């Protein structure tokens, strides 16, 4: 597919010495990453190593009760509350590494926030991160704190891309990679490989995995996430099922197609043009994660969706009276958002791709959950540096 090139050649003897050192170092390296998302913060723990070919590997260490809510961005005006907020996750990390016999000095720790924090004042963000660092140093003083930072959207997409292609076994110079479409609570990311000749701009940049350099196009749209989309649709009757009671006092119209028009107008107000140097692959060369998979599950569409299929299934749901839906699924807290979520997913696909083309969707690959935190570990363990604003 696209060209990739190897990093500088290393003389054979030095290479063998370096591989021996690197393998030992990787085998002893652990990365603890808190994904501070818009709806909550989750702790992930990974162990890095290498396979028989010397390729970088990362394995997730299972954790239970690894999430606290709401999102850490809700504390930007209350930095004194951050220590109590983050303490349960640090206790979990401390207990886990003690149980596994992992010394604190072998843990690289980062708290990385996403779209929920991007809309906050940098000054307020910094106060939150200082509180996180203080608490982490007090509870696990021997741990290496790498980053407490708000992640640029393009890197969130790049990390999802790394995760998906790593789990699919695509990260080798001879393999063809897939692009990733991802929508979370606060943003949408469009990421795919363009080749090593891409110039470094906001959307076009390079990163390493092991000794291979990849050129990526990765663009993020803060606001085109599930949480923000629901806020935008709060007073739009066309984004809710027939008879749904809106906060304004109006009732849902069940007019899915009209709501989709409004969603597409919202998306088209953003810069959606793709530069010529980053030719867009067909939709079949992408995997949809996050809300794309969630909508497929809600609409019972299996592991492949198209905008047309989403529209057809969601139109039926929109036309079913809200009282009927509520009686059938009284304990589904996200029942009310099925229509709006479908409109967002369909609108995003239609912005760049024909509505009849199909997109593979996934929540996990090979039994491993898709998470940008896995991509972040591969990125950091490959000696890339994360930009800090």
353 and 326 share a domain? yes
Other beta carbons within 10 Å of 101: 7
47 and 180 share a domain? no
Per-residue pLDDT of the chain (389 residues; tens, 9 = 90+): 444 433 333 333 333 333 333 333 333 489 999 999 988 999 999 999 999 888 999 999 999 999 999 999 999 999 999 999 999 999 999 999 999 999 999 999 999 999 889 989 999 999 999 999 999 999 999 999 999 999 999 999 999 999 999 999 999 878 999 999 999 888 999 999 997 655 667 899 999 998 889 999 999 999 898 888 788 778 899 999 999 999 899 999 999 999 999 999 999 999 999 988 899 999 999 999 999 999 999 999 999 999 999 999 999 999 999 999 999 999 999 899 999 999 999 999 999 999 999 999 999 999 999 999 999 999 999 999 998 76
Integer Cα distance of 136 and 362 in angstroms: 34
268 and 335 share a domain? yes
Q: Which of 127, 150, 173 is the last residue of a domain?
A: 150
The per-residue b/e assignment along 224-255, b for 16 or more CB within 10 angstroms, e otherwise, is bbbbbbbebbeebbbbbbbbbebeeeeebbbb
Integer Cα distance of 295 and 162 in angstroms: 23
Confirm whether 375 is domain-assigned.
no
Confirm whether 388 is domain-assigned.
no
Contact 167, 366 (CB under 8 A): yes
The domain that contains 208 carries what CATH number? 3.30.420.150
Task: Please tell me the predicted confidence (pLDDT) of residue 198.
Answer: 53
Q: Which of 150, 179, 196 is the last residue of a domain?
A: 150
Q: Is 299 helix (H, G, I), strand (E, B) or coil?
A: coil
Confirm whether 374 is domain-assigned.
no
135 and 158 share a domain? no
Contact 109, 60 (CB under 8 A): no
Confirm whether 180 is domain-assigned.
yes
Confirm whether 386 is domain-assigned.
no
38 and 181 share a domain? no
66 and 213 share a domain? no
Domain that holds residue 118: 29-150
Task: Please tell me the predicted confidence (pLDDT) of residue 156.
Answer: 95
80 and 36 share a domain? yes
69 and 186 share a domain? no
305 and 185 share a domain? yes
Beta bridge partners of 272: none
Confirm whether 17 is domain-assigned.
no
Task: Please tell me the predicted confidence (pLDDT) of residue 387.
Answer: 84
Closest of 109, 111, 215, 160 to residue 375, by C-alpha? 160
Count of domains forming the chain: 2
Confirm whether 14 is domain-assigned.
no
Contact 134, 156 (CB under 8 A): no
139 and 39 share a domain? yes
Rounded (10°) angle between helices 82-100 and 122-139: 40
Task: Please tell me the predicted confidence (pLDDT) of residue 235.
Answer: 85
Task: Look up residue 275 and give its DSSP letter.
Answer: P
121 and 234 share a domain? no
Closest of 125, 107, 104 to residue 115, by C-alpha? 125
Between the CA atoms of 24, 158, 286 and 197, what dihedral angle is there, to the nearest 10 degrees? -90
Q: Which of 150, 178, 206 is the last residue of a domain?
A: 150
Confirm whether 297 is domain-assigned.
yes
The domain that contains 115 carries what CATH number? 3.30.420.40
Integer Cα distance of 108 and 143 in angstroms: 6
131 and 216 share a domain? no
Task: Please tell me the predicted confidence (pLDDT) of residue 230.
Answer: 80
User: Structure pTM?
Assistant: 0.89
């Amino acid at each position: 597919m696209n060209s990739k090139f190897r990093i500088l050649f290393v003389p054979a003897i030095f290479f063998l010495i370096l591989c021996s050192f690197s393998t030992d170092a990787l085998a002893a390296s652990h990365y603890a990453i808190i994904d501070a998302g818009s709806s909550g913060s989750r702790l992930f723990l990974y162990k890095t190593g290498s396979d028989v070919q010397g390729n970088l590997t990362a394995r997730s260490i299972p954790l239970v009760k690894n999430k606290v809510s709401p999102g850490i961005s809700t504390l930007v005006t209350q930095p004194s509350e951050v220590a109590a907020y983050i303490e349960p996750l640090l206790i979990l990390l401390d207990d886990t590494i003690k149980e596994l016999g992992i010394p604190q000095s072998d843990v690289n720790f980062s708290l990385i926030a996403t779209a929920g924090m991007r809309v906050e004042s940098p000054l307020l963000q910094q106060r939150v991160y200082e509180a996180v660092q203080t608490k982490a140093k007090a509870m696990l003083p021997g741990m290496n704190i790498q980053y407490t930072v708000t992640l640029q959207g393009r890197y969130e997409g790049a990390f999802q891309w790394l995760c998906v292609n790593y789990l699919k076994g695509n990260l080798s110079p001879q393999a063809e990679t897939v692009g990733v479409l991802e929508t979370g609570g606060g943003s949408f990311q469009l990421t795919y490989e363009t080749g090593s000749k891409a110039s470094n701009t906001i959307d076009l940049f390079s990163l390493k995995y092991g000794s291979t350099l990849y050129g990526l196009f990765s663009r993020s749209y803060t606001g085109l996430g599930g949480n923000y989309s629901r806020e935008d649709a709060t007073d739009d009757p066309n984004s809710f099922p027939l008879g749904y009671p809106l906060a304004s006092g109006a009732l849902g119209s069940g007019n899915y197609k009209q709501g989709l028009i409004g969603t597409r107008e919202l998306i088209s107000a953003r810069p959606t043009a793709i530069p010529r140097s980053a030719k867009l692959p067909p939709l079949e060369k992408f995997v949809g994660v996050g809300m794309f998979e969630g909508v497929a599950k809600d609409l019972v569409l299996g592991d492949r969706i198209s905008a047309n299929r989403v529209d057809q299934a969601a139109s039926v749901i929109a036309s079913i009276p809200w009282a009927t839906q509520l009686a059938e699924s009284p304990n589904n807290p996200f029942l009310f958002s099925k229509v709006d979520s479908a409109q967002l997913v369909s609108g995003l696909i239609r912005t760049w791709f024909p509505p009849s083309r199909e997109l593979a969707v996934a929540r996990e690959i090979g039994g491993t959950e898709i998470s940008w935190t896995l991509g972040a570990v591969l990125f950091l363990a490959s000696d890339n540096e994360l930009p800090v604003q």
